[in-house]
A and B are shown apart, each in its own frame.
Chain A
Amino acid sequence: MSELSSIAAAGGGNRGVEKEFSRDPKGSAKTSGRSRDPARQLLPTPVLLCQRVSKWYGPVIGVNQVTLELRPGITGLVGSNGAGKSTLMRLITGHVRPDIGRVEVLGRDAWSAAAKRHIGYCPEVDSFYEEMSGRQFIETMARLSGYTSGEARRRTGAVLERVGMSGRAERRLRGYSKGMRQRIKLAQAMLHDPELLVLDEPLSGIDPVGRAEFISLFRDLADQGKCLLVSSHELDELQKLTDHVAVMARGRIAAVGSVAQIRDRLDDHPLTVRVDVARTTEEGGKDRRRELAGALLRLPDVVGVELLDDAPGEEDVGRLLVRARNPRTFFQDLTRLVLEEWFEVRRLQTLDESAEAVLGYLLGGRG
Chain B
Amino acid sequence: MALIQQPRPTAAPQTSLLRAWWFLVLLSWRRQARARQMVWIALGLLAFTTAMTAVATAADLWHRPRFRQLAVADQMMLDALVPGSPAQAVADATFGAAGVAVLTDQSAAQVFARWVVAAIFLGFLLPLWSLSFATEAIGGDREQNSLIWLLARPLPRPMVYLAKFVALLPWTVGLNMGGFALVCAAAGRPGLTALRLFWPAVLCATLAFAALFQLMGAAFRRPAIVAIGYSFFLEIILGNMPGVMKRVSIGFYAHCMMLEAADRHGIQIDRPNVYWPVDGTTAIIVLLTTTVTLLVMGMVVFSRTQYHDSV
- Give the interface of A toward B (CB within 8 A): 57, 90, 93-97, 113-114, 116-117, 119, 121, 123, 125, 127-129, 131, 140-141, 143-148, 151, 154-155, 158-159, 161-164, 188, 190-193, 213, 216-217, 220, 224
Taking the closest CB of chain B, its distance from the CB of A133, in whole angstroms, is 14
B13 touches A (CB below 8 Å): yes
Contact of B14 among A93, A116, A143, A147 (CB under 8 A): A147
What is the number of residues of chain B that contact chain A, defined by CB distance less than 8 Å? 38
Contact of B152 among A93, A114, A161, A216 (CB under 8 A): A93
Please state if B145 and A155 are interface contacts (CB–CB under 8 Å). no
Using Cβ atoms and an 8 Å threshold, which residues of chain B touch A144?
20, 23-24, 27, 149-150, 153, 155
Take A146-B17, A146-B19 as given contacts and tell me if A117 and B154 are in contact as well, using a CB distance cutoff of 8 Å: yes
Taking the closest CB of chain B, its distance from the CB of A54, in whole angstroms, is 14
Q: Which A-chain residue is minimally distant from B307 (CB atoms)?
A: A95
**Cα–Cα, bound, A154→B151 (Å):** 23
Can you list, as one digit per residue, whether each of B278-311 has a CB less than 8 Å from chain A (1) or not (0)? Answer: 0000000000000000000000000000111001
Please state if A95 and B311 are interface contacts (CB–CB under 8 Å). yes
Take A123-B311, A146-B15 as given contacts and tell me if A164 and B10 are in contact as well, using a CB distance cutoff of 8 Å: no
B34 touches A (CB below 8 Å): yes
- Give the interface of B toward A (CB within 8 A): 1, 3-4, 6-11, 13-17, 19-20, 23-24, 27, 31, 34, 144-146, 148-157, 306-308, 311
Using Cβ atoms and an 8 Å threshold, which residues of chain B touch A147?
13-15, 19
Please state if A193 and B10 are interface contacts (CB–CB under 8 Å). yes
Please state if B6 and A161 are interface contacts (CB–CB under 8 Å). yes
Taking the closest CB of chain A, its distance from the CB of B19, in whole angstroms, is 5
Max chain A Cβ within 10 angstroms of own Cβ: one of B9, B19, B24, B34: B9
Take A95-B311, A144-B27, A164-B1 as given contacts and tell me if A114 and B154 are in contact as well, using a CB distance cutoff of 8 Å: yes
**Cα–Cα, bound, A93→B155 (Å):** 14
Using Cβ atoms and an 8 Å threshold, which residues of chain A touch B308?
57, 90, 96
Using Cβ atoms and an 8 Å threshold, which residues of chain B touch A113?
154-157
Given contacts A141-B153, A162-B6, A193-B8, 6 further A-B contacts (CB under 8 A): A95-B148, A95-B152, A114-B154, A116-B152, A144-B153, A145-B20
**Cα–Cα, bound, A148→B150 (Å):** 17
**Cα–Cα, bound, A90→B156 (Å):** 17
Please state if B306 and A95 are interface contacts (CB–CB under 8 Å). yes
Please state if A158 and B311 are interface contacts (CB–CB under 8 Å). no
Please state if A146 and B9 are interface contacts (CB–CB under 8 Å). no
**Cα–Cα, bound, A261→B154 (Å):** 38
Using Cβ atoms and an 8 Å threshold, which residues of chain B touch A95?
148, 151-152, 306-307, 311
**Cα–Cα, bound, A162→B1 (Å):** 7
Taking the closest CB of chain A, its distance from the CB of B276, in whole angstroms, is 45
**Cα–Cα, bound, A97→B156 (Å):** 15
Contact of A213 among B1, B31, B149, B150 (CB under 8 A): B1
Q: List 8 A-B contacts (CB under 8 A).
A: A90-B311, A96-B306, A123-B148, A128-B149, A129-B146, A143-B27, A146-B154, A192-B15
**Cα–Cα, bound, A123→B146 (Å):** 11
Take A90-B311, A125-B311, A193-B10 as given contacts and tell me if A213 and B152 are in contact as well, using a CB distance cutoff of 8 Å: no
Please state if B152 and A129 are interface contacts (CB–CB under 8 Å). no
Q: Which B-chain residue is minimally distant from A128 (CB atoms)?
A: B146
